[in-house]
Structure 1
Amino acid sequence: MNDKLPQQVAATFAADGALATAIKGFNRRDVQLQMAAAVSESIVSSDNLVVEAGTGVGKTFAYLIPALLSNKQIIVSTGSKNLQEQLFYKDLPALLMMLGITAKAALLKGRNNYLCQHLMEKELSGASSMDTQILDDLLRINQWAGQTLDGDLGGLTSVSENSAALPLINSAKETCIGQRCDHYDVCFTRKARNRAMDAQVIVVNHHLFLADRIIKETGFAELLPDSDVVIFDEAHLLPDIAVTYFGQQCSTRQIAELLEKLIEIYQRELRDAKQIEQLSARCLTFLNEWQQALFAVGDTDWRRMIGNKELAALSWGLLSELASLQAMLQSHVGRSDNLDDALEKLQQQTGKLELFFLCENNQAAYSIDYGHRYLMLRIAPIDVAKECKKLFDANVAWIFTSATLQINQDLSLFTKQLGINNCKQLLLKSPFDYANNALFCVPRQLANVSNHHAIVPQFVEVCVQAIEAAKGRTFILFTSHRMLNLVAVALQRRVSYPLLVQGQANKQTLLKKYRQLGNAVLLGTGAFWEGVDVRGRLLSCVIIDKLPFVSPDDSLYRARSESIAMEGKDPFTEISLPQAVISLNQGVGRLIRDEKDRGVLILCDNRIVNRPYGQAFLNSLPPMARTRDLTQAVRFLEQIN
């Protein structure tokens, strides 16, 4: 135990300390030192700590410095790839140099973030029958593959993040053939794992951390060590991500690909077993008919759909066909490694499918996500607090931090969601001068946000006025892709500044272009509400279309609501409102990123001022000056140099 850690940390932040020596113009922030001291105490005593640190506190240095000086093994888990990369490529190297520490660090992402050389080779071999656009993207990826050192698809900028080629070539447990692969020795996923095994500081994301702790069969089993310190940055995302990992998912795409692989195995290896092709093709037909039936209904709640007799018959018919196929494949076990592998994976997927069809767990929501051609079937627990409690080993220092954890200055909602009982709680406000540097405007006379015909032209008009006053330099954040697309089309005819729309390229490419242009307008949904850091005059205005309430049709929300109602509580105040407050705070946090930043936040939703619950939002926002007059907001923007 390093009992001197608090003193070492304080010395690092002192006027003559390592930070002041290395950083020109370094100004010590009391709130940052307060957080660093709390993190130090947590590490020394192995106590849990929950900290909300407002924008500008400098929480990254406040937790990394004590962690590095402790000489203990550290896992830092983030909610976004953007922060994960910033920590690994920027913050950690800088601090290690400042502190004079030598420590091996590793960046590890989920396997689907890495290029699979085997799949790349396989896809290019079938290029003659491929869509032209997909082939073009594959050739670009292949060119990049010859240059990349780590195979991390996050570094790929030559194709859109929505490219149909990406799912064909990213690493996945379902398609991995292990040591039988010709590329095993140079596999990007395998090399990333090996680097992590030998590291003192491992930077992961919440998805990977939970997968490793909860679902050992993910392919990253027991990769992460039982470290001394685990720090969750962007911790506000943990409860929702935990729902995914304590539940189950089944992708119909994976089932379809396994059936297609079986047909390929017949054609290439087992030509004497015609039944493999016949029964696999029959299962594919049943799967497609079942999917089409679901698409025709379009409901996301499986509990509501299972009452449909025709759909129920199709569902159990599909399972019966899959069972027949597997029974037949058993007679060929041992004849082909590829067949044995496909059969094992098909059995796993069929088991998940049956579990979903049975719909037996009353404490879970059963939902369907509709893709372009395929479905994702999800079983999500209503309450993950009990499961989360098992994660937090008493001998480990668990530290949770984010800029947005509180509701009405209270952290208990977050701790309750994760089942964190004994922990120190700390609320640290931003040191920025919001009152003078930021203006919050909710324009008067806006239509009801549910009235699309009226609100879209009004919203576009607000955007045009703000964009012109800000000379571009604007983020427009949306709660739905539909609204984003409507506004994007309208603004193209009204605005002369460059428009960057989510989906045109990947997130980092769009942000890079935004910074380079200097006068652009960026339109985005959830991905751009958080984990985005644009400082100075480059971003003068953030416009939000409406309060980010979860859809009442969301199956998990409905299941949680029913459970809360049975306890005699109000689902809106217990679930919907707190989630929306956190989400809005994230969007608002894009505006003021530095002490000299100035800007205007415009929210086009009157509910924040004319509904009683609006006060919960206002109490949780930074202390910005407020106005209902759009003209005043426009004048403020015009004065920003």
Structure 2
Amino acid sequence: MLTESLKNQIRAIHGNIKTALPNYQPRAGQNQLVAEISKIIAGTYHKHERIGLIEAGTGTGKSLAYMLAAIPYALAQKKKLVIATATVALQEQLVNKDLPFFQKHSKLLFEFSLVKGRQRYACIERLRQQQKHPELFATVTTAEFDWQVLLDKWQQRQWLGDRDTLAEPLAEPLWQRIVADPLHCSKANRRHANCPFHLARAELESADVLVVNHALLLADLARGNSILPAPADTIYVIDEAHHLPHSAREFFAAHAQLNHNDIWLDKAGIMLQQLIALLSAAVMKDIVRLADSCNELAALLKPVEHCVKAFQARWFADNNSFRFVDAALPKVMQQQAEELASCSQKALNQLEKVQQHLQEHITGQNLPLKQSLNLLQELGYLQQKLEQQQALWQLYAVAQDKNVQQARWVEQLNNQQLIGHASPLGVAGKLEQLLFNDAFAVVLCSATLTALNSFQYIKYDLGLTSFEGVKTLQVASPFAYAEKGRIVIPKMNTEPTEQAYTAELISLLPDFLPDNQASLVLFASYWQMQQVAEALRKAGLSLLVQGEASRQALLQLHGENCKHNRTSILFGTQSFSEGLDLPGNLLTNLVITKLPFAVPTSPLEEALAEAVTKKGGNAFLQLTIPATSRKLVQACGRLLRQEQDQGRIVILDRRLVSKSYGSAMLNALPPFSRNIDY
């Protein structure tokens, strides 16, 4: 329970922050958030299941609210606070702005750290090797790059040694030359002790607040908490939590090559022969075992290759992907799955030993540098291939009963390579097992956590339906929506599903793009956006279209237009409807061309719909409508970003009026005033 002294401490900190914030205005919603989050994590509602689902509208100040509620309590209880977000933008805001501000004005003694995956860091020793021995690495892409500039910046602390603080982005092939992968950048080697990755990890031990992304959180939970503290010792705040089910599906999915595997396996065989000639006799036994496992894997994959070759013409007659209905694999693939998963795992275990032997020889400087670095790189490539095979066949080996649990499909690439895919349909069980069962407390929050004003959908996706202690809360935005904004639904003759819709859109849209204002037009399809843009440009309109320049460049041009009160029209697709912040005069006119229905064309979406139908449900009502409603709320959230903002939203989709689900979608939107021309 919350002690009186802790309550008083939170109130005092809140008072300090109110004084420090310029133009601070009291917000009842924020006070409610602080009180409710405090009660959830203190166990006021449920002693053991301290779980909260909180939807906090734009402008409620949820970041400050969860810091106020969670940090003093975590410090008092000697628990760690992990804040997980979906986007880099929010991570940077927390680490560079919100947490330093809170640390300064709360007067609390705590440390915070941004936790990133190893792939985001450079290895300084590898960087030195690039600079000292350019002849070993010279290629078309690397020959002209001056590595000394990066070394100087690292030594002068102008660069923190990670990809995100580079003054100018580094191309992927160049970055891979210096990335801190576990093979090259081992902490056991004293030359790597001061590499950025190891320095960053050392900071985590003293940090009280850790900021991560959803993917790293899931990876660490799955690996048994190798980086982050154990769930029982942790208070989790998962921001942008509406992304978590999708992030988890992506993390627990797998893909691997099904044909032409002999190419990389033969190459591995040659490489292992080189290692036998190069390393001492004591290591030979481990190399021979790995070679035997690779040969066994090649033999097990042969029947699979014959199988997919026999089906290839039939599977890809009309499409470049083929989904296995009910996740039922061809007999040969099903029979081989368990052995393939086991053999891949055995090879990975043996590979790890060989990598360690090679690393020891390199550290002892017993081997020619160029040859050993090449071999180390080839072992890394082999590891990647084996990991992919192991993950895919492990999923394919899981028996699918009447209640299908996976989506399984095969994709054909342009070079005739076939890739097998598997993805869990639901991640509820995994999240329950890895996170919710053992965590001290979990608060999941977002501006769009409900769908059609209900928490049931997200509860089901997250695996929280059986938890009694889950506390749900909706806190409305303080914005005066009815006064500041208006939703306009003009009369249209066609629905977006009709062929004539694009032509009507082209003729009608100019009427809703006012002069000397900032407009954002959102499209559900990239193809349709291009068609409309081409026609409107012919009619004389100047447009900034997604894909024709980088997002940053487009927003910069848009900002310049708005600064000089010029007409500025941004065209964008789904990615512009979330996480795009255009406050004040940067957006006064938002046009949504049609409801953002996701067409169930991806194999995963098809499998999800199929599973619902098999259980007697209605996939359109249970999956499509709630998902579309949430996306529409997110899109409408672009208009008002600050309390003084104002403008209108034009929705050019008559289905909000003509279809039975339309009123439910409209009622899930913020309470803007409405002007419906029907």
Corresponding residue of 1:3: 3
Corresponding residue of 1:18: 16
Corresponding residue of 1:427: 474
Corresponding residue of 1:439: 486
Q: 2:430 aligns with which of 387, 390, 394?
A: 387
Corresponding residue of 1:93: 100
1:467-616 equivalences under 5 Å are 467-469=513-515, 471=517, 473-490=518-535, 492-494=537-539, 497=542, 499=544, 501-502=546-547, 504-505=549-550, 507=551, 510-511=554-555, 514-518=558-562, 520-616=568-664
1:14-93 equivalences under 5 Å are 17-45=15-43, 47-70=50-73, 71=75, 72-93=79-100
State the Cα deviation string for residues 244-274 of structure 1 (Å, max 9, x = none): 234434479998996698499579867899x
Distance of aligned partners of 1:114 and 1:589 in 2 relative to their CA distance in 1, 3 Å threshold: farther
In 2, the alpha carbon distance for the partners of 1:182 and 1:604 equals 63
- For the 8 Å contact 2:533–2:543, the answer to whether it is kept is no
Corresponding residue of 1:412: 456
Q: By how many angstroms is 1:171 displaced?
A: 4.5
1:81 partner letter: V
- For the 8 Å contact 1:53–1:429, the answer to whether it is kept is yes
In 2, the alpha carbon distance for the partners of 1:258 and 1:183 equals 32
In 2, the alpha carbon distance for the partners of 1:61 and 1:381 equals 35
In 1, the alpha carbon distance for the partners of 2:498 and 2:245 equals 32
Kindly, what percent of the aligned residue pairs are identical?
26
The question of 1:235 aligning with 2:278 is answered no
In 2, the alpha carbon distance for the partners of 1:167 and 1:449 equals 44
State the Cα deviation string for residues 521-555 of structure 1 (Å, max 9, x = none): 43333433222322111112222332222222222
Distance of aligned partners of 1:602 and 1:31 in 2 relative to their CA distance in 1, 3 Å threshold: same
Q: 1:456 aligns with which of 480, 502, 509?
A: 502
2:210 partner letter: I
Q: By how many angstroms is 1:34 displaced?
A: 0.6
Q: By how many angstroms is 1:430 displaced?
A: 1.3
Distance of aligned partners of 1:154 and 1:582 in 2 relative to their CA distance in 1, 3 Å threshold: farther
Q: By how many angstroms is 1:483 displaced?
A: 3.4
The question of 1:213 aligning with 2:190 is answered no
2:662 partner letter: G
- For the 8 Å contact 1:464–1:495, the answer to whether it is kept is no
Q: By how many angstroms is 1:30 displaced?
A: 0.6
Q: By how many angstroms is 1:417 displaced?
A: 1.8
1:125-204 equivalences under 5 Å are 130=140, 139=145, 147=153, 149-155=159-165, 158=168, 165=173, 168=176, 171=179, 178=186, 184-204=192-212
In 2, the alpha carbon distance for the partners of 1:457 and 1:125 equals 59
Secondary structure, aligned partner of 1:523: strand
State the Cα deviation string for residues 438-488 of structure 1 (Å, max 9, x = none): 122233225332345x333443455544444353x2333333333344445
1:3 partner letter: T
In 1, the alpha carbon distance for the partners of 2:142 and 2:536 equals 33
**Range with bigger deviation, 141-150 or 1-10:** 141-150
Corresponding residue of 1:402: 446
Secondary structure, aligned partner of 1:469: coil
- For the 8 Å contact 2:543–2:571, the answer to whether it is kept is no
Secondary structure, aligned partner of 1:178: coil
Secondary structure, aligned partner of 2:422: strand
State the Cα deviation string for residues 122-169 of structure 1 (Å, max 9, x = none): 798688654xxx669x94999668646334434457459xx6658856
Distance of aligned partners of 1:459 and 1:122 in 2 relative to their CA distance in 1, 3 Å threshold: farther
Q: 1:363 aligns with which of 399, 405, 417?
A: 405
**Range with bigger deviation, 346-355 or 73-82:** 346-355
Number of corresponding residues: 607
In 2, the alpha carbon distance for the partners of 1:572 and 1:99 equals 48
- For the 8 Å contact 2:121–2:179, the answer to whether it is kept is yes
1:429 partner letter: A
In 2, the alpha carbon distance for the partners of 1:35 and 1:237 equals 21
In 1, the alpha carbon distance for the partners of 2:125 and 2:570 equals 37
Distance of aligned partners of 1:58 and 1:383 in 2 relative to their CA distance in 1, 3 Å threshold: same
Secondary structure, aligned partner of 1:379: strand
State the Cα deviation string for residues 534-579 of structure 1 (Å, max 9, x = none): 2111112222332222222222222222322233221111111111
- For the 8 Å contact 1:9–1:40, the answer to whether it is kept is no
Secondary structure, aligned partner of 1:527: helix
In 2, the alpha carbon distance for the partners of 1:145 and 1:628 equals 61
Secondary structure, aligned partner of 2:34: helix
In 2, the alpha carbon distance for the partners of 1:369 and 1:157 equals 38
Q: By how many angstroms is 1:41 displaced?
A: 1.1
Secondary structure, aligned partner of 2:445: strand
Secondary structure, aligned partner of 1:560: helix
Distance of aligned partners of 1:127 and 1:411 in 2 relative to their CA distance in 1, 3 Å threshold: same
Corresponding residue of 1:639: none
Distance of aligned partners of 1:444 and 1:469 in 2 relative to their CA distance in 1, 3 Å threshold: farther
The question of 1:102 aligning with 2:109 is answered yes
State the Cα deviation string for residues 158-203 of structure 1 (Å, max 9, x = none): 459xx66588568586976635989734544333333333311111
1:388 partner letter: L
Distance of aligned partners of 1:61 and 1:268 in 2 relative to their CA distance in 1, 3 Å threshold: same
Distance of aligned partners of 1:98 and 1:538 in 2 relative to their CA distance in 1, 3 Å threshold: same
- For the 8 Å contact 1:9–1:37, the answer to whether it is kept is no
- For the 8 Å contact 2:425–2:607, the answer to whether it is kept is yes
Distance of aligned partners of 1:358 and 1:50 in 2 relative to their CA distance in 1, 3 Å threshold: closer
Larger Rg belongs to: 2
In 2, the alpha carbon distance for the partners of 1:172 and 1:447 equals 55
Secondary structure, aligned partner of 1:150: coil
The question of 1:350 aligning with 2:389 is answered yes
- For the 8 Å contact 1:306–1:312, the answer to whether it is kept is no
The question of 1:621 aligning with 2:669 is answered yes
Q: By how many angstroms is 1:586 displaced?
A: 1.3
In 2, the alpha carbon distance for the partners of 1:95 and 1:242 equals 30
Q: By how many angstroms is 1:372 displaced?
A: 7.8
In 2, the alpha carbon distance for the partners of 1:255 and 1:222 equals 34
Distance of aligned partners of 1:411 and 1:125 in 2 relative to their CA distance in 1, 3 Å threshold: farther
Distance of aligned partners of 1:241 and 1:308 in 2 relative to their CA distance in 1, 3 Å threshold: closer
In 1, the alpha carbon distance for the partners of 2:644 and 2:319 equals 49
Secondary structure, aligned partner of 1:591: coil
**Range with bigger deviation, 108-117 or 414-423:** 108-117
Q: TM-score, normalised by structure 2?
A: 0.75
Q: Where do 5+ consecutive residues of structure 2 fail to align?
A: 279-286, 360-375
2:544 partner letter: L
Secondary structure, aligned partner of 1:427: strand
Corresponding residue of 1:633: none
